[in-house]
Structure 1
Amino acid sequence: MSHAPRPSPTKLWLRALEATARIDRDGHTFPELIDDLATRQGDRPALLSEGECLTFRELAERSNRYSRWALSLDLPAGATVGLLMPNRPDYLAAWIGLTRVGLTAALLNTNLTGASLAHCIAVAAPAHVVVAGACTDAFAGAAAHLAAPPRAWLRQEGELDAALDALPGDPLAPDERRPVALSDRALCIYTSGTTGLPKAANVSHRRIMTWSRWFAGLAALTPEDRMYDCLPLFHSVGGVVAPGCVLSAGGSVVIAERFSASRFWDEVARWDCTLFQYIGELCRYLLNAAPAGGPVPPHRLRLCLGNGLRPDIWQAFQDRFALPEILEFYAATEGSFSLVNVEGKVGSIGRVPPVLAHRFPAAIVRFDVEAGRPERGEDGFCRRAAPGEVGEAIGLIGQAEGAGSFEGYTSRADSDAKVLRDVFAPGDRWFRTGDLMRRDAAGFFYFVDRVGDTFRWKGENVATSEVAEVVMGVPGVVEATVYGVAVPGHDGRAGMAALVVEPGFALPALRERLAERLPAYARPVFLRVQSAIAATDTFKQRKAPLVADGFDPGRVGDPLFVDDREAGAYAPLDAALHGRIAAGAVRL
């Protein structure tokens, strides 16, 4: 299917800047934006799903009922109400309604249970939680870990249904409204928790509007666009960026209950979507589920938008599914650092055009892997990385609201840990992304690794993502993740790769490719062959449990191998060989 030519990168940047410039001038929050759209195009579809579909008018009415219910709780402005609900249109109506009257919605992860869910509830400290029927057991399990559990309101065949049905859905009267500023907190959104317990990031009304307007401009969205959103609504990308940008442009959003590689293309075609949102390894899952050489699934997609598309599959993914445009971006829910790849440069997470560098100050500073922090010179200041040099990406924290703001977490200690001070001048403050990147001579940024994932071995730095890309190029490797493990008697950490393989995989072919593509110190010393690699709800691989398991056959039930340099092959690793390695009797 042919598509209208996309505006030039310069026009897209200008469109996004114009759209975001209106935010402070108009002062409108996202609920007010929905109210306006309900007036102007009330009968157009807004949210679509298998269970129900809402027009803009119906979305506004549903959210108004939530607003009136929230007012009946007699909570002070800024108080928090938790949402523990699956993906469905009602979820968005709930947080729109809560935030319209000055409350904060804490978007709780529906896949957490017990102490983990209790932790998320505790850090947001809601007095009330809306709990969907399917989530009642999870909430009860978490409540057992809380000294004073919040009041639960059962939604879907529960008491909240009756309360909402009894309330009018027309616009709030002046005496029902509360003053809400763009700077007020609207949402608590949790980090993925790949390296520890999730942190609750503060998200203001301004940030919601900025994300919505910014991506609507960069993606050149119109009322004719329809987004397929199969990401969790409790996450910033699936729950705010995806619906926010499309709804703000007057388009519609299809909300899938969850991602399914087998149903993805059928649903995209059935709902007649023009774009979809991706994150993390989702694109790899789609590629693995559709072998090369097969027919291109029918669709009328013009663009996919997201972050985390790895360079090793970028071109294959775009070609396999005949995707006209990919808009890759990089951003942190709470941070002041963001990039967008408007040009479609394969492998890059984006750049900041020189003419906008003053508005979006970003830098890469040299990083000491052993110390786990940016390097500083004799004068005490950080050193900018040269083009092509790997370092930690940081973003200047502005003094004014809006661009460059760092809204932090509910925990002051967690917020302080993300701020780097006295970087290039006394008193300056920069947001630490925790990601290692490099920048080419043209200004394009490339993700290299997470700060905690890169390790040192044989006196050299090893970027796990770069090693994983080489491993993924071996025939028969379906998925791979690389990490460092401690070895008794050795400095640093040895490389280890966890693999998911299919028929046709051969260890000699893997070792040959590693020898061709990587220096000796970067080649994995240990291998672990698994049936699957655990991932977060946002499709990020979970490495912490793998690191904890190490290469001990007593802890790992999967097949293990060690690189036998003398034999020139990967050898099975059993308890006896593990004991010899631990005793220092084997040269690695």
Structure 2
Amino acid sequence: MTFIDDQDKVTPYTFQQVDKITNQVANALKADGMKYGDCIALMMDNKPEFVFSWLGVAKAGGITALINTNLSSKSLLHSFVTSKATRFIIGSEHLKVVDDLRQEIKNSDNPETQIVSNGKYYIEGTNAPGYLSFDSFIEKQPPHLIGGFPPERNGSHPLLYIYTSGTTGLPKASIITNLRLAMPGIAFTNTYRIQPTDIYYCSLPFYHSSATLICLSASWYSGAKLVFRRKFSASKFWKDCIKCNCTVAQYIGELCHYLLERPPAQEDKAHGVRMMIGNGMRSNIWEKFKERFNVKQIGEFYAATEGPAAIFNGMDKTGAIGYVPKILMRILDGVPLIKYDVENDEILKDEKGFCIRCKPGEVGQFVTVIDPLKGSEFRGYTNKEATEKKILRDVFKKGDMWYLSGDLLKMDKDGFFYFVDRIGDTFRWKGENVSTGEVELTISDFPGINEVNVYGVRMPNTSGRAGMASIVVEDLSLFDFKKFYDYTNEKLPSYAVPLFLRFPKSIEVTGTLKHLKAAKREEGFNPDIVKDPMYFIDKDAKTYIPLTKETYLSITQKKAKL
């Protein structure tokens, strides 16, 4: 593997070097009293030490909780507590946020919090009071693994805890077994024909499943070289690929959009990347991206960190997130989409009490059978209650179990699947379901718009939610609200036209470049709370007008036309 740091220094590591260093980590942890099955929490940016750490923990028979580096305070404490870790490996870049947390909980009388407070902390890259030096900790250890691999370890043994994004609540720790790490590597290598001669570029955070379960796993299984950068940089993405001769690259969320937003440059087509693999590529930029950057194939897929299965678009079908051939559909006894009532937030059942499969073109919740005999196992989360919420029983027959994705998809007649929305993001207005994803696609094609995030906001004394489009524009003073009104009313159903427009300087995203929606929904449209410029639809004038305090009162007092 090869690491590119913040100063663009390139450092290669051979398999032998990684093997020796991870042996040293394992030896050091065991010498320090770590027992088989213990959990170590790891909070670090993409660095070689990140990989060394969790591989070393695995060799010692432990489990590593990969902590989201964007967390702080209560969310960070929650992740530490739910991991049940007693040891913590911290990158020096996160020393302050961890130190602040330790001071905050120092005198806590909560037993769970005390475990975090009293744990052993190793700091990588520096020295600090109250921390053991990670570098000094391992450097005196021999490069061979003392005692060999734990004999108890097998494919079903927990290897990692990878946390969900926590966009709808506190993060949940997904259980990743040894087999669960290997399976994506096999699937992605075979689906996208990754070769030992390929060089795989990753700028996504290793705490996320896309980087660890796909990039790392696929490179190890295929024999391809992995090149990774500490953090994603749109300006350095293609430069890195050119410098390291990369042939495959990983994307997620809005990454490809950010690359397209960059000014045209010589390196746009000077690289050798033949394929981009990931999820979240919008259909309206799919072909633009391939054309501008001379990328031959987009390898879009659909999966969840904790999910028991995935679907792949290995045919580069624009906009499709996956494909299920008819023969596999027969094995599954039909389309893995079930009818869902968005307004009442419930799964629809037939007269016998079983779920109803969707027909081609119908929107439904994606489900996956849970059956170890079919290679579909769901280990869920460390929290048993959270695990049970993702399992639906007696779905199509008595005794069966299916995993609930929480996502709304639709399938065409040929077996290609398309993402519609996340349950909770789709909202009801005027008795109709509004897909935030579809509205975003339409609005993003309007001239002068750089980025858009759509969500529903609650209206007083009104059922459902009204559409809010949070838009980043090149120049708000030049934005034509009249033309935008005409455009949205022409392109969208009347119930999907946003009532509110908000103009932030940038769209807030998660650590994996996905739009934040839940927090924005809660902010609503009150000008005393939202400081960004906001506008409200004026149906009489066929335009949008500034949302002042007077306008806000008119809306809340039900005087404004909706």
Q: Which of 405, 410, 422 is the aligned partner of 2:377?
A: 405
- 1:71 & 1:295 partners in 2: Cα distance? 47
| 1:349 correspondence with 2:331 | no
| 1:107 correspondence with 2:66 | yes
| 1:376 correspondence with 2:345 | no
Which residues of structure 2 form unaligned runs of 5+?
106-112, 128-132
Q: Check conservation: 1:392, 1:434, Cα contact below 8 A.
A: yes
| 1:155 correspondence with 2:124 | yes
Question: Counterpart amino acid of 1:147?
Answer: Q
- 1:387 & 1:222 partners in 2: Cα distance? 35
User: 1:297: Cα distance to partner?
Assistant: 3.5
* TM-score between the two structures when normalised by the length of structure 2: 0.93
- 1:419 & 1:179 partners in 2: Cα distance? 29
Alignment-derived partner of residue 558 in structure 2 = 584
- 1:492 & 1:412 partners in 2: Cα distance? 32
Alignment-derived partner of residue 90 in structure 1 = 49
Q: Check conservation: 2:62, 2:159, Cα contact below 8 A.
A: yes
- 1:167 & 1:227 partners in 2: Cα distance? 31
Alignment-derived partner of residue 71 in structure 1 = 30
Q: Which of 182, 191, 203 is the aligned partner of 1:230?
A: 203
User: 1:77: Cα distance to partner?
Assistant: 2.2
Q: Check conservation: 1:283, 1:309, Cα contact below 8 A.
A: yes
SS at match of 2:464: coil
Alignment-derived partner of residue 118 in structure 1 = 77
Alignment-derived partner of residue 268 in structure 1 = 241
Alignment-derived partner of residue 60 in structure 1 = 19
Superposed, which structure 2 residues align to 1:442-481 within 5 Å? Answer: 442-481=414-453
User: 1:72: Cα distance to partner?
Assistant: 1.8
CA deviation vs aligned residue, 1:374-397 (integer Å, no higher than 9, x gap): 111222111111110111111111
User: 1:551: Cα distance to partner?
Assistant: 1.0
User: 1:294: Cα distance to partner?
Assistant: 7.7
Question: Counterpart amino acid of 2:114?
Answer: A
- 1:48 & 1:556 partners in 2: Cα distance? 41
Alignment-derived partner of residue 215 in structure 1 = 188
Q: Which of 521, 536, 550 is the aligned partner of 1:562?
A: 536
Alignment-derived partner of residue 3 in structure 1 = none
Question: Counterpart amino acid of 1:458?
Answer: K
Q: Which of 519, 526, 533 is the aligned partner of 1:545?
A: 519
Q: Which of 142, 153, 172 is the aligned partner of 1:180?
A: 153
1:294 to 1:312, Cα distance in 2 relative to 1, 3 A: farther
- 1:131 & 1:301 partners in 2: Cα distance? 34
Alignment-derived partner of residue 493 in structure 1 = 465
CA deviation vs aligned residue, 1:222-278 (integer Å, no higher than 9, x gap): 222111110001111112310210122222111101011111111111111111110
Q: Check conservation: 1:419, 1:430, Cα contact below 8 A.
A: yes
Superposed, which structure 2 residues align to 1:21-60 within 5 Å? Answer: 46-50=1-5, 52-60=11-19
- 2:363 & 2:304 partners in 1: Cα distance? 19
Alignment-derived partner of residue 280 in structure 1 = 253
SS at match of 1:147: helix
Q: Check conservation: 1:227, 1:276, Cα contact below 8 A.
A: yes
| 1:318 correspondence with 2:290 | yes
Alignment-derived partner of residue 11 in structure 1 = none
User: 1:509: Cα distance to partner?
Assistant: 2.3
Question: Counterpart amino acid of 1:576?
Answer: E
Q: Check conservation: 2:486, 2:542, Cα contact below 8 A.
A: no
Question: Counterpart amino acid of 1:559?
Answer: P
User: 1:173: Cα distance to partner?
Assistant: 4.3
CA deviation vs aligned residue, 1:137-171 (integer Å, no higher than 9, x gap): 12122333433322111222342211211111124
User: 1:172: Cα distance to partner?
Assistant: 4.4
Q: Check conservation: 1:100, 1:180, Cα contact below 8 A.
A: no
- 2:53 & 2:466 partners in 1: Cα distance? 48
Q: Which of 548, 551, 555 is the aligned partner of 1:574?
A: 548
User: 1:360: Cα distance to partner?
Assistant: 6.6
Q: Check conservation: 1:216, 1:248, Cα contact below 8 A.
A: yes
- 1:206 & 1:290 partners in 2: Cα distance? 43
CA deviation vs aligned residue, 1:497-524 (integer Å, no higher than 9, x gap): 1000003532222212111111111100
User: 1:403: Cα distance to partner?
Assistant: 2.2
User: 1:192: Cα distance to partner?
Assistant: 1.1
Alignment-derived partner of residue 167 in structure 1 = 141
Q: Which of 252, 274, 277 is the aligned partner of 1:302?
A: 274
CA deviation vs aligned residue, 1:74-104 (integer Å, no higher than 9, x gap): 3332221111111112211211111123210
- 1:54 & 1:68 partners in 2: Cα distance? 20
User: 1:339: Cα distance to partner?
Assistant: 0.5
Residue identity (%): 36
- 1:334 & 1:160 partners in 2: Cα distance? 30
Q: Check conservation: 2:24, 2:145, Cα contact below 8 A.
A: no
Task: Give the aligned CA root-mean-square deviation in angstroms.
Answer: 1.7
Superposed, which structure 2 residues align to 1:238-253 within 5 Å? Answer: 238-253=211-226
- 1:288 & 1:379 partners in 2: Cα distance? 52
CA deviation vs aligned residue, 1:283-330 (integer Å, no higher than 9, x gap): 111111135x98733101111111111112111111111101111111
SS at match of 1:227: strand
User: 1:219: Cα distance to partner?
Assistant: 2.2
1:360 to 1:132, Cα distance in 2 relative to 1, 3 A: farther
Which residues of structure 1 form unaligned runs of 5+?
1-45
User: 1:108: Cα distance to partner?
Assistant: 0.7
Q: Check conservation: 2:86, 2:115, Cα contact below 8 A.
A: no
Question: Counterpart amino acid of 1:426?
Answer: K
Question: Counterpart amino acid of 1:356?
Answer: L
CA deviation vs aligned residue, 1:99-156 (integer Å, no higher than 9, x gap): 1232100001122111111111011110101112222112122333433322111222
- 1:520 & 1:195 partners in 2: Cα distance? 28
- 1:509 & 1:178 partners in 2: Cα distance? 69
User: 1:358: Cα distance to partner?
Assistant: 6.2
Q: Which of 492, 497, 509 is the aligned partner of 1:518?
A: 492
Question: Counterpart amino acid of 2:197?
Answer: E
- 2:539 & 2:142 partners in 1: Cα distance? 74
- 1:212 & 1:423 partners in 2: Cα distance? 30
Question: Counterpart amino acid of 1:81?
Answer: I
- 1:413 & 1:73 partners in 2: Cα distance? 34
The number of aligned residues is 540
CA deviation vs aligned residue, 1:455-492 (integer Å, no higher than 9, x gap): 11111111111011110010011000111111112111
SS at match of 1:119: helix
